[in-house]
């Protein structure tokens, strides 16, 4: 596993397989004091090589110099960071990921990163160190759990970076940078937990396994308690809607209610609710084969909630947090719920099921009703809810639906900080007509394909009462099929974990 730490030191003496130095586009080589120090030790040959290669510091540009014993480091890699003015926190995150990938491809096990004298307006050294570290850890993520016999050959020449030392020459910033590195590690680990849960094949992650993860997390912190909602308890609570979705599966349904209590008096009580469909076949309204291939990702909302809970204690978050999910598997069978069925949710609402593939909202009806009984100051749900959301916003961007301005601002600010694209969609009230049912209180589909993300949001809104609430439809970014950023590999992205933690920290 990759360990990262920061310490004060003179870069020249660092012993490592690879020493990484950064250089901004167009900056004079002589202005880079760190580079000059190393170059002096290398009798000017590093800058000579840079000139020879025409290195100007564009993003992604790099010069590799083998030191051959002239300094303790094995090789020096000078990496361009592009225009200084364009550098922001998100660029630092991507940069971190690129550095980790380059180090890996150069087969370096130990890496020293010479911390540059960069500053970004409005951002602290801690923010920057945090972003670079986050990028390094998240960009190094691999999911090898289920590689078998054929993988051995690969593993023999597989090189993982083991240790990165961020060397800081300035004594005054070292503490801030250390803190940034530590915090990033916690955030990245939480994100990777969510990724791994999403990546885990659906035969290895049944509803009961999701609850086991919650148990594990609760056992690791005295501040976290857990109530398990087994089928009996769900029945007792009147969660007939969620139970109906799970009924077609041989694998039983199971829910979890985690509570994190901070040490002092909590500032607020926040409920986080995650969609937890461990596999979505569509049920009797079965999906076509192509649409089913990635449907192990349909528990990404709950995975994000679990990621958040893994980090709450370590980050010493000061609000009370409730984490709730009702895990089910949506399968067709002789016992499955049918199009046409009417089920009564926990709050007494009757739901006409017209498409068993619109199952997420049916499970969330009960999860949100349950969360509401704890009278939270605010509720946020995350769900891979609709394909329509992907049509509206594409694969990278999640939809935010809320009528609460403060919550909207807070979540958008958090998302901007963490680089997780989030865009508002309206809870357009006139569309409530589209989910009115002829035989029950509400139906689980809107009027055709148009506005599908919004009608799903409106359906959920029905179950939150007056509690300030926000819905995040993460159907696009929860699962990445084509890599677009170096810090998010293909597969589960862990979307929402850092965003929610940032939101909770900002309350």
Q: Cα–Cα distance between 251 and 220 in angstroms, integer?
A: 27
Per CB under 6 A, the segment of 203-211, 354-362, 368-376, 499-507 that binds ligand BES is 354-362
Q: How far is the CB of 40 from ligand BES (least distance, A)?
A: 55
Our CB check for Zn ion shows the closer of 142 and 391 to be 391
Which range binds Zn ion by CB under 5 A, 122-130, 280-288, 403-411, 488-496?
Answer: 280-288
Backbone φ and ψ for 202, nearest 5 degrees, come out as -65, -20
Cβ(74)–Cβ(15) below 8 Å? no
Residues 242-281 that bind ligand BES (CB under 6 A): 280
Collapsing DSSP states into helix, strand and coil, what is residue 351?
A: strand
Binding flag, residue 355, ligand BES (CB under 6 A): yes
- Is the CB of residue 333 less than 8 Å from the CB of residue 250? yes
CB of 383 to ligand BES, least distance (A): 8
Which member of 361, 410, 443, 498 is catalytic? 361
> What six digits make up the tokens of 175?
């503490």
To ligand BES, the closest distance from the beta carbon of 417 in angstroms equals 25
Q: Which residue is nearest to ligand BES (CB)?
A: 387
- 145 forms bridges with which residues in the sheet? none
Is 261 designated active site? no
Determine which one of 287, 314, 408, 416 is catalytic: 287
Task: Fill in the DSSP letter of residue 76.
Answer: E
Q: What span, in angstroms and rounded, lies between the C-alpha atoms of 289 and 292?
A: 5
Judge residue 51's burial from the number of C-beta atoms within 10 Å of its C-beta, 0-12 exposed, 13-18 middle, 19 or more buried: exposed
Does 360 contact Zn ion by CB under 5 A?
yes
The Cα–Cα gap between 118 and 23 comes to: 10
Pairwise CA distance, residues 200 & 455, whole Å: 30
475 binds ligand BES (CB under 6 A): yes
Which two structure tokens, joined as six digits, stand for 239? 């969660």
- Residue with smaller CB distance to ligand BES, 41 or 330: 330
Cβ-contact 136, 100 below 8 angstroms: yes
339 binds ligand BES (CB under 6 A): no
Give min distance, CB of 354 to ligand BES, in A. 9
The reply on whether position 352 binds ligand BES by CB under 6 A is no
Q: Is residue 337 within 8 Å of residue 248, measured between CB atoms?
A: yes
- 357 lies in the site for ligand BES, by CB under 6 A: yes
* Euclidean distance between CA atoms 290 and 300, whole angstroms: 19
Query: CB-wise, 110 or 281, nearer to ligand BES?
Result: 281
* Number of Cβ within a 10 Å radius of residue 246: 28
**Binding status of residue 447 toward ligand BES by CB under 6 A:** no
Pattern of binders to ligand BES over 376-415, x per CB under 6 A?
--------xxxxx-x-------------------------
Summarize as ranges the residues that interact with ligand BES (CB under 6 A): 280, 298, 355, 357-360, 384-388, 390, 445, 452, 475
Q: Which residues are catalytic?
A: 287, 361
């Amino acid at each position: 596993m990759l360990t990262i730490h920061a310490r004060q030191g003179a870069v020249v003496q660092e012993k490592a397989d690879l020493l990484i130095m950064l250089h901004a586009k167009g900056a004079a080589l002589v202005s880079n004091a760190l580079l000059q120090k190393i170059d002096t030790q290398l009798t000017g040959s590093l800058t000579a090589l840079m000139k020879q290669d025409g290195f100007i510091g564009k993003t992604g540009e790099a010069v590799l110099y083998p030191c051959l014993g002239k300094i303790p480091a094995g090789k020096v890699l000078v990496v361009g960071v592009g225009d200084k003015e364009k550098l922001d926190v998100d660029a630092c995150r991507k940069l971190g990921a690129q550095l980790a990938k380059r180090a890996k491809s150069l087969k370096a096990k130990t890496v020293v990163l010479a911390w540059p004298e960069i500053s970004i307006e409005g951002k602290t050294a801690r923010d920057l160190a945090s972003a670079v570290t986050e990028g390094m850890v998240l960009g190094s993520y691999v999911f090898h759990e289920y590689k078998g016999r054929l993988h051995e050959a690969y593993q023999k020449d597989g090189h993982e970076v083991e240790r990165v030392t961020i060397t800081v020459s300035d004594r005054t910033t070292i503490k801030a940078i250390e803190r940034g590195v530590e915090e990033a590690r916690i955030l990245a680990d939480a994100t990777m937990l969510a990724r791994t849960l999403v990546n885990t094949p659906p035969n290895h992650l049944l509803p009961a396994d999701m609850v086991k993860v919650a148990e594990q997390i609760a056992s690791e912190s005295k501040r976290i308690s857990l109530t398990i909602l087994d089928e009996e308890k769900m029945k007792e609570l009147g969660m007939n809607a969620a139970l109906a979705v799970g009924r077609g599966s041989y694998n039983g349904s199971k829910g979890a209610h985690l509570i994190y209590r901070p040490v002092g008096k909590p500032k607020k009580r926040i409920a986080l609710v995650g969609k937890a469909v461990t596999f979505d076949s569509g049920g009797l309204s079965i999906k076509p084969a192509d649409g089913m291939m990635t449907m192990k990702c349909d528990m990404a909302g709950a995975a994000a909630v679990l990621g958040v809970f893994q980090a709450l204690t370590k980050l010493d978050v000061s609000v009370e947090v409730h984490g709730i999910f009702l895990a089910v598997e949506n399968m067709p069978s002789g016992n499955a719920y049918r199009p046409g069925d009417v089920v009564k949710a926990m709050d007494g609402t009757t739901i006409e099921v017209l498409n068993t593939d619109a199952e997420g909202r049916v499970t969330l009806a009960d999860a949100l009703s349950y969360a509401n009984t704890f009278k939270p100051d605010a509720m946020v749900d995350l769900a891979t809810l609709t394909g329509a959301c992907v049509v509206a916003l594409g694969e990278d961007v999640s939809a935010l639906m809320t009528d609460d301005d403060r919550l909207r601002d807070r979540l958008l600010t958090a998302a901007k900080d963490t680089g997780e694209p989030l865009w508002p969609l309206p809870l357009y009230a006139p569309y409530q007509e589209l989910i009115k049912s002829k035989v029950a209180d509400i139906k689980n589909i809107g009027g055709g394909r148009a506005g599908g993300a919004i009608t799903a949001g409106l359906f959920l809104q029905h179950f939150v009462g007056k509690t300030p609430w926000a819905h995040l439809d993460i159907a696009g970014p929860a699962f990445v099929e084509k890599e677009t950023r170096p810090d998010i590999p293909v597969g589960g992205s862990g979307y929402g974990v850092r965003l929610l933690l940032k939101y909770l920290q900002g309350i």
